């Protein structure tokens, strides 16, 4: 294999790995056993997942029965949707977790938050570190992988990036 082809292959694999870790995972709130409803225990659901920058939350629910309101910490603990940070009424909202910090979501339908329809999400930083130079560069993600319970509600992205890279390499030959 020529050194130029080898360098291209290493660069492509590194790019695919970084692409996959940068995009993160999409977590369907309450999955796999529940959804955005009055039956799901969201404290228990979040206890099995570590959320990182680049991840997304998907809220799925009947729009006629519920909504999602992002609120401040105080509004979360008081179940108040009177001054929302944002409102997601569609029934299939996808919310990117772009920054480190705690995010608070409630159902704004009267009585639903008090009935347990609220979730607090702690978003941590995702750090990729690279060592070496050129073809010897090795990059690793310093965040732990999600548990198998968390992965049940996540949609992996890395496979898509790797498939695109392999398809591109096949075109070269």
Q: Which domain holds residue 75?
A: 21-141
Q: Is residue 33 part of a domain?
A: yes
For residue 87, tell me if it sits in a domain. yes
Which positions ≥6 away from 26 have C-beta within 8 Å? Answer: 55, 56, 57, 58, 94, 154, 155
Residue 34: predicted pLDDT: 83
Kindly state whether residue 34 falls inside one of the protein's structural domains.
yes
Lowest model confidence (mean pLDDT) among 10-19, 56-65, 111-120: 10-19
Give the pLDDT confidence score for residue 31 in this predicted structure. Answer: 92
**In a domain? residue 154:** no
Q: What is the pLDDT of residues 26-66, one digit of tens each?
A: 999 999 888 999 999 999 999 989 999 999 999 999 999 99
Classify residue 129: in a domain, yes or no. Answer: yes
- Mean pLDDT, to the nearest integer, of 61-86? 96
Q: Is residue 62 one of the residues assigned to a domain?
A: yes
In whole numbers, what is the pLDDT of the chain averaged over residues? 77
- Does 130 reside within a domain? yes
Residue 93's CATH number? 2.60.40.420
- Report the SS3 class of residue 138: strand
How far CA 15 is from CA of 9, 51, 90, 132, 155, in Å, comes to: 10, 22, 35, 15, 19
Strand 26-28 versus strand 56-60 pairing type? parallel
Tokens, residue 76: 């979360």
Domain count, the chain: 1
Is the residue at 149 inside a domain? Answer: no
């Amino acid at each position: 294999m020529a050194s130029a082809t080898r360098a291209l292959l290493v660069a492509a694999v590194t790019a695919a790995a970084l692409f996959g870790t940068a995009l993160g995972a999409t977590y369907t709130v309450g999955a796999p056993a529940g959804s955005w409803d009055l039956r799901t225990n969201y404290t228990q659901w979040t206890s099995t997942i570590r959320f990182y920058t680049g991840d997304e939350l998907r809220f799925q629910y009947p729009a006629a029965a519920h909504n999602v309101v992002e609120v401040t910490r105080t509004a979360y603990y008081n179940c108040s949707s009177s001054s929302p940070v944002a409102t997601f009424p569609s029934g299939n909202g996808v919310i990117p977790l772009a920054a480190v910090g705690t995010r608070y979501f409630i159902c704004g339908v009267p009585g639903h938050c008090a009935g347990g329809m609220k979730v607090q999400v702690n978003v941590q930083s995702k750090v990729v570190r690279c060592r070496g130079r050129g073809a010897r560069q090795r990059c690793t993600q310093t965040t732990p992988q999600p548990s198998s319970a968390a992965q049940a509600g996540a949609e992996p992205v890395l496979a898509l990036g790797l498939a695109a890279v392999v398809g591109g390499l096949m075109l070269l030959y």
